[in-house]
Amino acid sequence: MNLDQMVDAIEKLQSAKRFKHSLGVKDVAYDLALIYGYDTMKASIAAILHDCAKHLSDDELIGQCNIYNLPVSKYEMQSKFLLHAKVGALYARKLYGVEDEDILDAITYHTTGRPSMTLLEKIIFTADYIEPNRRPIPRLNTIRKEAYFNLDQAVYIILENTLDYLKTTNNVIDEMTIKAYEYYRKLIEASSINS
């Protein structure tokens, strides 16, 4: 399946609002890939498919994990919507024919992030957060500016924002997000010392 076919399939699958978001993520991911010297086609495919399982209910997500033996962490059991990322990677492979592990990993970690993300993972993680249709959130303009000059800094601020939001709303915090935050905090601190 080529990119245009994927876009058509996702448009039929998602609500108009979700599809607009997916297109926004695709456009931003393309731009970031261009800036940082990454394959724009791979970035576009990962972006358009990143929420390809977001339409599933919590029960359906758990059901898919059970059917395909996908591990479910205690954090994911408490916040089942997180599972749309790993189920999305499964769907990207099974339904859309994606075999590229970089693309599949970018879909898997677009919600929680993880330590030492690949360039594509950082592009999709950031594009999902800053795409133009995103509702206003604290520091969004700062993150948007950073994304085009220092992707690691943008990732760090996104993770910090996410943790702040989850703490103030008493939501479950996935351990992977904490590990990612600590990794990027240390990376940014080290780079500021060395500069």
pLDDT tens for each residue of 118-145 = 999 999 999 999 999 988 888 999 999 9
Domain holding 19, by residue range, is: 3-194
For residue 105, the domain's CATH number is 1.10.3210.10
pLDDT tens for 83-106 read: 999 999 999 999 999 999 999 999
pTM of the model as a whole: 0.96
Please, how many CA atoms are within 13 Å of residue 89, restricted to the half-sphere of its CB? 21
Residue of 173, 48, 166, 46 lying closest to 118 (CA atoms) = 46
What's the number of domains the chain is made of?
1
CA gap 148, 178 in Å, rounded:
24
